[in-house]
Structure 1
């Protein structure tokens, strides 16, 4: 089964048209040749950028010499009103300190503390859908997965369900922000001094202020509970009470507001995107949908997530075809030579999971939905060299293990109770803004199983 992907642009377009295309959707703004190129160069009057698909280059940039290729500040320009000084945007010593505090909360042994919250959020999701569809109904699945992923975040982070008043407000404000915020603004294309005002949309700035105000309220109340000794043992408490092993410092309320913003953006937006596309792919391929439903018949507790082999393979394949974060950008700190090409200092290096995961030289039938590929020995090298939905190396997403438990679990919980089928006249059209979503939503027909 070949699921939809964006139509690429012509190989050559003007800078102005490229900027307009990129602002609207970064996927259809790219040419077809990137699906089989090891490296590509883009020149503008303001900067040079290079896309790297060569696995050897990716190892150099992300794993072997990551300090020489920090995150580009230009991509962060559009997100800074919301994310502040979060771990997603920082580099160097600040980033290293933040990761020393955050990483222990996501260690494999402590992930089990979050599984009951995932289970409860999944149960609430299934109940909502069953109540919504009656004996059968068309539903927009992204709205459902967005709410479910937000529920998981609030239950695991602050021990409150999505129905809590503040949690519900944050969720709705994030939905507004996602629609209002393009992935790039002017500062992403033109290097501006710090004193130059940033041209963020007024609605983007207003939404960011509202979200941060609500998160500040939650975080302040949690800090008070920690001081009184009444705080629950959830992710927020663990992170806020973890000292930096080198300095002994912990996050202040202001520090934590930045981190909660990225936890929600990364853990909500990306999880909602991946789960929605996984449900669409299963709807379009009844064989795999039935297999997952059958596998999940005896599922009675979240700790059984390790046994969901088929669901996990479907989720991996979904992340290959529709990586929630389709592109990452690093910057050179000195002149480099890549594939016999001279790369200047301050060049932008685009690392694209979207193109890497569909690269014609690295995958068999790269555009096909084929979860069975994850069990075939001949695909091991591609999986090792050309699969990075959570990045890789020191800057790998700390929540990768969390996501790989949440996704298969919620996928199985829904499909064992509900049967989905595509609506031919409403095919989804993938676009990338903050994450890879469908332009007009993902519409499916749902009936109780």
Structure 2
């Protein structure tokens, strides 16, 4: 199709440092010049450090897979989340991070993903039921997707639906916290040396403390059930009872609170972002929505039948390419490096940008086009092996990547089976990077039950 999905307008090629910082504070995506979609590498200087955005896939592979210990995660990118996440696996490096992954990873191994499927499907069906009153009026999709994704996390992690009182309180507290402290924190990027003190807004600290109290209660209650031999066999129980094979230790209660915080924050926020954009893209391209709906009608709701949702999976992959929930990852050089014949000093920030890599003109055919069919071509598969990083790669690849793919496909399939989604011509969403890639003013679509949608012109955008 001629119509490409929206992306932010790029800034002029040359701007002053202070103009760039003002643009960065508003939105990191639109603060970048258009040339980054074709550049191999770009350098950015601040008074305190140098930053290098890297699109050269050999260098990306070096950082993530070749020598990951020489490129630890930068503490700048997650600095604003420390009051909430403490020493979670999202923020740590080195031996501490390796120990955490040895305990967490077994819960998400292929065989155990089957155990999470009933919770994912139940959350999908509950979300579909909550939309039963949809009658074609405009609705904000991100809020709906966030509620469904949070339900998935609660059901698979603690075996409780989102309607549970504590789950509801955690969900609303997280939404309040996200408004106080986005992950892309300008102050973290321009602050000086690591020994300088960090300051957090009082509201950020207050909401973080409230969330941690709620998670502590969930964790303590689960430890009591484990001790009594009555705990359900869900993700929380698996992680809390897994012994690190090297140290013989399990997570302490405090450590588990840190991990639950990142499971919920990363798990529901990234999934909600991806699901929202997937629904928008299907509304924008109704011929693909028809294909997903046909597959969904034949899906019997069993784990074994997931492999037959091939079109839905390709649509979700293409969504993650165009709108990767985490648009940028930041590493730090532990020693001097030479990148593309340029000296990179120790302590420099290395920015790996799925946002730019996934739309890079040197790698992808029609990079800005929505084309799920590319995932069935040899060229598309080959490019994906080196230039597709929705879940990172190497040792720090998202431990829940497989879980997220199952969740996205199931939620999308169930929603499109029962409802028709249509775009609003007057409300085109513009992507911005907050905690994840979201729309600046939300994603608004009309939702109609299939029994009510037959008379609609499905190929024409609605008017607000």
TM range (shorter): over 0.9
1:275-312 per-position Cα deviation (integer Å, ceiling 9, x unaligned): 00000000000000010000111223241222110000
Structure 2 stretches lacking a partner, 5+ long: 451-464
In 2, the alpha carbon distance for the partners of 1:148 and 1:302 equals: 19
Q: Give SS of 2:131's match.
A: helix
In 2, the alpha carbon distance for the partners of 1:79 and 1:30 equals: 24
The residue that corresponds to 1:99 in the other structure is 101
The residue that corresponds to 2:232 in the other structure is 232
Aligned CA RMSD, in angstroms, stands at 1.1
Matching of residues 258-337 of structure 1 within 5 Å: 258-303=258-303, 304-337=305-338
In 1, the alpha carbon distance for the partners of 2:180 and 2:20 equals: 20
Contact 1:101/1:243, CA 8 A, preserved across alignment? yes
Q: Bigger CA drift: 182-191 or 404-413?
A: 182-191
Task: State how many pairs are aligned.
Answer: 446
Q: Give SS of 1:313's match.
A: helix
Instruction: Please report how far the alpha carbon of residue 143 of structure 1 lies from its aligned counterpart in structure 2 after TM superposition.
Output: 0.5
Matching of residues 35-434 of structure 1 within 5 Å: 35-131=37-133, 133=134, 135-182=135-182, 183-194=184-195, 196-303=196-303, 304-434=305-435
Contact 1:269/1:435, CA 8 A, preserved across alignment? yes
Contact 2:328/2:355, CA 8 A, preserved across alignment? yes
The residue that corresponds to 1:4 in the other structure is 6
Instruction: Please report how far the alpha carbon of residue 406 of structure 1 lies from its aligned counterpart in structure 2 after TM superposition.
Output: 0.4
Structure 1 stretches lacking a partner, 5+ long: none
In 1, the alpha carbon distance for the partners of 2:131 and 2:326 equals: 27
Q: Give SS of 2:80's match.
A: coil
Contact 2:316/2:409, CA 8 A, preserved across alignment? yes
TM-score (norm 2): 0.94
Q: Give SS of 2:365's match.
A: coil
1:75-105 per-position Cα deviation (integer Å, ceiling 9, x unaligned): 1211111111000100000000000000000
In 2, the alpha carbon distance for the partners of 1:68 and 1:197 equals: 25
Instruction: Please report how far the alpha carbon of residue 189 of structure 1 lies from its aligned counterpart in structure 2 after TM superposition.
Output: 1.6
TM-score (norm 1): 0.98
Matched, 1:18 2:20: yes
Instruction: Please report how far the alpha carbon of residue 193 of structure 1 lies from its aligned counterpart in structure 2 after TM superposition.
Output: 4.3
Contact 2:334/2:347, CA 8 A, preserved across alignment? yes
Q: Give SS of 2:447's match.
A: strand
1:209-256 per-position Cα deviation (integer Å, ceiling 9, x unaligned): 111111111011111111111110000000000000001100011000
Instruction: Please report how far the alpha carbon of residue 45 of structure 1 lies from its aligned counterpart in structure 2 after TM superposition.
Output: 1.2
Instruction: Please report how far the alpha carbon of residue 425 of structure 1 lies from its aligned counterpart in structure 2 after TM superposition.
Output: 0.5
Contact 1:78/1:185, CA 8 A, preserved across alignment? no
Q: Give SS of 1:33's match.
A: helix
